Amino acid sequence: MVSEIFINSCILIAFISISQNFIRRKDINYKSSFLLKFITGLWAGLLGVILMMYSVKIAPTIITDFRALPILLSAIYGGVIPPIIASIIIGIFRIWHFGISYASIIAVIAIILMGIGFCFISTMKVTNKRKWIYSIGYLLTVNLFPIIILIKDPSSIFKIFIAYSLSTVIMSYFIFKYTEYINEAIKLYWKFRNEAAVDFLTGLNNVRQFDKVFNIVAQETIRNDGYLSLVFLDIDFFKKINDTYGHNIGDIILKDLADILRNSCRIYDNVFRNGGEEFSILLNNCQYDGAMEIAERIRKSIENNKFFISDKKFINITISIGVSTYPNITQNINELLEHADNALYKAKRTGRNKVVLYNNEDNIK
């Protein structure tokens, strides 16, 4: 009996560990799509079936295992749909594999009751820890009735129920701690992944993401004979702002400016903070006239915007912008960055608060 319980435990832990690689890329919760919930139910049902194949025979007509724990897991993390699907799969397998008998019917009823009960508990507005406690209490209560019905000897009922309860409680506690650990690991994974691509202050793509996206978009543009414009912009006299009002105010201005950039661009454009007060925008399928229109709209929006540095006090800022476009002005797409930077430099050198388009004939227009 001990060896079968150990095998059940190993199967359960191994299955959860392997599944972590797939869960990490999908956020399984109550708001997930029906398809993802359906797959989660299939996952729980399959795991329950495997656990049942290594059941512990505690009486001639009674077997036990940890088949209910996958149903419980799917309910806590997936809501109502997954445990119903898992219960049906496990119930069908119970009859198909072990045959139709009085004991099988009682077991199927118990599984269905567990699924329904876990569904109800999953909707409760309590912590996952509380849901686990309530679910285990409900699980033990439901499983007590088949034991009483199928076993006539009172002393055997007591021994079997105590042995089952202890093993279930111990395993449930371990699985709860393990799944909580996995959830924390997944959160850290996404946190570090996002931080590697997103600027922590503004929420825009960072300079590392710029290099990655630019290479992808550039190749797609060449392959599709398309257009690509690059906008570089820089806040005028930003050092003076930091020196006068402090870096905290400078950070507020950077975040507000990032919001303006998001709202001023098309939904499929890519906006980046390249560092400090420097920003860039990749305008997909956009020729120079469209790029200049967008750049000028951004310049005016920022010039006319009130950047509040306190509840009642605000300041105005300006930006300088350089624009480069492939292929009708810049023929080599890899030179877009250099040309946009040159155009930005001229915008700052010739008075600031303006948009300059790079031009091959005199280097800058």
Residue 277 annotated among the catalytic residues of the structure? yes
Predicted pLDDT at 60: 60
Task: Specify the amino acid at residue 293.
Answer: E
Place of tokens 């309860």: 165
> Distance between CA atoms of 202 and 278, rounded to whole angstroms?
12
**Largest Cα–Cα separation, the chain:** 100
Question: By three-state DSSP, how is residue 56 classified?
Answer: strand
Closest CA to 340 of 231, 227, 228: 231
Fold (CATH) for 2-197: Arp2/3 complex 21 kDa subunit ARPC3 (1.10.1760)
Candidates 4, 180, 184, 277; catalytic one: 277
Q: Is the pLDDT of residue 25 over 60?
A: no
pLDDT in tens, 165-207: 888 898 889 888 888 888 887 777 777 766 677 888 998 999 8
Q: Among 94-108, 180-194, 215-229, 257-271, whose mean pLDDT is lowest?
A: 180-194
**Structure pTM?**
0.57
> What's the CA angle centered on 274, arms 273 and 277, to 5 degrees?
75
Q: Which helix (H) or strand (E) holds 100?
A: none
Contacts of 254 (CB under 8 A, 6+ apart): 201, 202, 273, 277
Q: What is the mean pLDDT of the chain?
A: 87
Tokens encoding 1: 């009996």
CATH number of the 207-357 domain:
3.30.70.270
pLDDT in tens, 304-344: 999 998 888 999 999 999 999 999 888 899 999 999 999 99
| pLDDT band at 365; cut points 50, 70, 90 | very low
Domain ranges of the chain: 2-197, 207-357
| pLDDT band at 29; cut points 50, 70, 90 | low
CB neighbours of residue 304 within 10 Å: 8
Predicted pLDDT at 58: 62
